[in-house]
Amino acid sequence: MSDKVKELISKCLQARDMAYCPYSRFPVGAAILTTGGAIITGCNVENASYGLTVCAERTAIQRAVVEGYRQFTAIAVTCDIKDRFVGPCGACRQVLMEFGSDWIVYLTKPDGSYKETSLLELLPLAFSPAHLAKN
């Protein structure tokens, strides 16, 4: 495992610890790696009006966009489930696709072990911005 992947995994675990999840008690953390090597984190932020809850992956993307980033290479995602790897929800997969299909995705357990996959594996036959350009 490269030092950058170790850092990405570590930061997604740290972000999970910051989650605001008083209703589900299901903390999630995410860390995004930009093409320039910066790492931007996010955690889930719940709301009493459940539909207004924002997932960790989308929080990280929104933070990255605010900071001026638009190109990414990888994301690490974690939650508290110890016995299997858990991927981003469908909405988050679609949001990631907005910024390209070439993401490496590290599905991370609380102990830091991970499974490497890709966004294309998680979201086959995806709708993307390219579809809007084709009339």
Tens of pLDDT, residues 94-109: 999 999 999 999 999 9
Neighbours of 116 (CB within 10 A): 13
46 annotated among ligand-binding-site residues: yes
How confident is the model at residue 64, as a pLDDT? 98
48 annotated among ligand-binding-site residues: yes
Q: Which candidate in 57, 67, 116, 121 is catalytic? A: 57
44 annotated among ligand-binding-site residues: yes
72 sits in which H/E element: strand 72-78
Question: Which structure tokens are listed for 39?
Answer: 């790492």
pLDDT band at 1 (very low <50, low <70, confident <90, very high): confident
How confident is the model at residue 133, as a pLDDT? 85
Question: Which structure tokens are listed for 48?
Answer: 């009493």
Closest CA to 64 of 15, 20, 4, 28: 15
Overall average pLDDT of the 51-68 stretch: 98
The model's pTM is: 0.95
Q: Active-site residue 57, yes or no?
A: yes
Overall average pLDDT of the 68-72 stretch: 98
Neighbours of 102 (CB within 10 A): 12
